[in-house]
Amino acid sequence: MAEGKAMAMQLSVQVASWLHAQVTGGAPLDQVLPALLRQGFDELQVRRIYNAVLSDPDGFKAGFSRAAAGQPAVAHRLPQGQVTAPVAPADGTVPAQLPFHPVAMIPADARTIACDHGGVHVAFRLQRPHVVLFENVLTGEECDALVAEAGPRLQRAGVVDSERGGSRIDERRTSELAVVRRGASPLVARLDARIAAITGVPLAQGEPLQVMRYGVGAEYQPHYDYFDLGRPGQAAHLRNGGQRIASLVIYLNDVEAGGETTFPRCALSVGPRKGSAVFFAYTDAQSRTDPMSFHAGAPVTRGEKWIATRWMREREFT
């Protein structure tokens, strides 16, 4: 009854009925994923079947209801891309879907988070997209030490190759970067633990830090951090750790001019300040992603910008 762009996937009436009840009842993806993997589907197939129910529950139900009644099953075309969270239209009406709550939300009552070096302070928060500005994430000395540790290994930054996987050079991203694995040094191990304490996301779900340098004119044009199921090269990244759920961008120096982190769809701009960090979460338990998290690194117009970025996943990343 379920049909993909280049493949057909058959579900029994019992499994289809169970899946429909689970998804419409709000079951998270990680609750149904193991059961369908045991049925012989791979993870990308499971996500597409799950998304078919999520995006069109009535149409999906009609298909297996016909089969249950002994009528010919109706093929149901599977969504090829991500299911995005609804955005309230201009008239203020509420979309008829479950409310969107990112899994990596920072608690609303968080003001100061006790860490090994003192308190990390919440300076600003926005509900949608879920953006939080932290102060005192790193000390000035730690910022300088991380730059010194990563600087000698800088190379031109790439972007995810959406068709073939891996990464490729693209003019949308004109920084230099060094990948710093978890626990690479005593300094990095200390920062790893601190990031987990601040965000609430276990360290095992974090990708390696990327330390980046942006010179004058360098930028990262507007983009999403999460992966698109409809792009083969991006979907391939889901096999290790699942979808990205949140990003933390730590500012390692004060920039003379430019270099802001911008969110064009909500007219938000965060200026880089040494030791502070901007956190944004964009994926919920049903793996819906937030189009409001569209963001960019504005061009540096004077001086240079150093940042350290950590992307976080749905489950353990190896």
Q: Which amino acid is at 150?
A: A
Q: Tokens for 254?
A: 């004060």
Residue 154: domain span:
112-313
Domain check: are 150 and 226 in the same one? yes
Domain check: are 67 and 184 in the same one? no
Confidence of residue 167 (pLDDT cuts 50, 70, 90): low
pLDDT at 151 over 50: yes
| Alpha helices by DSSP H, the chain | 13-24, 29-38, 43-55, 57-68, 140-150, 186-199, 232-235
Q: How many domains does the chain have?
A: 2
Whether 97 is in a domain gets the answer no
Name residue, tokens 């059961």.
Answer: 35
**Where is the domain boundary, 29, 59, 77?**
77
Other Cβ atoms closer than 10 A to 239: 10
Domain check: are 287 and 174 in the same one? yes
Per-residue pLDDT of 63-106, as tens digits, reads 888 767 777 766 667 788 889 988 866 665 655 567 899 999 99
pLDDT at 7: 45
pLDDT at 284 over 80: yes
Domain check: are 177 and 52 in the same one? no
Whether 82 is in a domain gets the answer no
Whether 53 is in a domain gets the answer yes
Whether 101 is in a domain gets the answer no
**Distance (Å, whole) CA 313 – CA 204:** 9
pLDDT at 35: 93
pLDDT at 87: 82
Whether 172 is in a domain gets the answer yes
Domain check: are 147 and 290 in the same one? yes
**Where is the domain boundary, 77, 94, 122?**
77
Domain check: are 16 and 117 in the same one? no
pLDDT at 80: 81
pLDDT > 90: percent of the chain: 74
Whether 301 is in a domain gets the answer yes
Per-residue pLDDT of 98-144, as tens digits, reads 789 999 999 999 999 999 999 999 999 999 999 999 999 999 999 99
Whether 102 is in a domain gets the answer no
Domain check: are 123 and 253 in the same one? yes
Whether 100 is in a domain gets the answer no
